[in-house]
Amino acid sequence: MGSAVPSAQAADVTFNISGKITPSSCDVTLGSGQTVPLGTYSTNVLDRVGKITDLKPFEITLENCPQNYNDVQIKFSGSTASPNTQLLALQPDGATNVGIAIYDNDKTTLIPLDNWSAGKSVSTAQSTTLTFYAAYMSMGQVTQGQANAEATFTLSYN
């Protein structure tokens, strides 16, 4: 008794392959290292919802940008605070009811976490330094403790 072997059939299959080749990105350097010292504050300074501490600057410098880049947008990411998801959450086991707000270079425009900033002009002939600001922001009755956080950023070139 013989066993039946299934037969295989060949068929023409077309794969559509797409993609894009782009120039290299700008070289990125961070001003004053990778730590933004926000300082030490009393809980009394953050005595109501939405109150912020002094704004502390930090910089991202772009160098050697390709000729066809006109501007760049920045998106800061990390753990979101609760209940204000526009803010960066502090690491666990520290101060509570406080998050970190990131502001654009005008010192008034809040850049919500995981949202793109406004476009910033980029020079292809020299370094471009982008300045941002960070501050603690109250989300309720703030309790004492360490107030540290980590964030990353992504650049989108136009």
For residue 13, being part of any structural domain is answered with no
Query: Do the domain assignments include residue 78?
Result: yes
How does pLDDT run across 116-158, given as a tens digit for each residue? Answer: 999 999 988 899 999 999 999 999 999 999 999 999 999 998 8
Torsion of CA 77, 133, 32, 122, to 10 degrees: 80
> How large is the greatest C-alpha to C-alpha distance in the chain, in angstroms?
91
Has residue 66 been placed in a domain? yes
Nearest to 158 by CA among 13, 41, 28, 26: 26
> Is 147 contained in some domain?
yes
Q: Is residue 14 part of a domain?
A: no
Q: Is residue 3 part of a domain?
A: no
User: Is the pLDDT assigned to residue 96 strictly greater than 90?
Assistant: yes
Does residue 133 contact residue 120 with C-beta atoms inside 8 Å? Answer: no
- Whole-model pTM? 0.82
- Say how many domains are in the chain: 1
* CATH for 33: 2.60.40.1090
Q: State the amino acid at position 49 in one-letter form.
A: V
In a domain? residue 15:
no
Query: Which domain range does residue 134 map to?
Result: 27-157
- 7 domain-assigned: no
Cα dihedral 153→129→63→20 (10° resolution):
40
* Of 158, 1, 151, the residue nearest 76 (C-alpha): 151
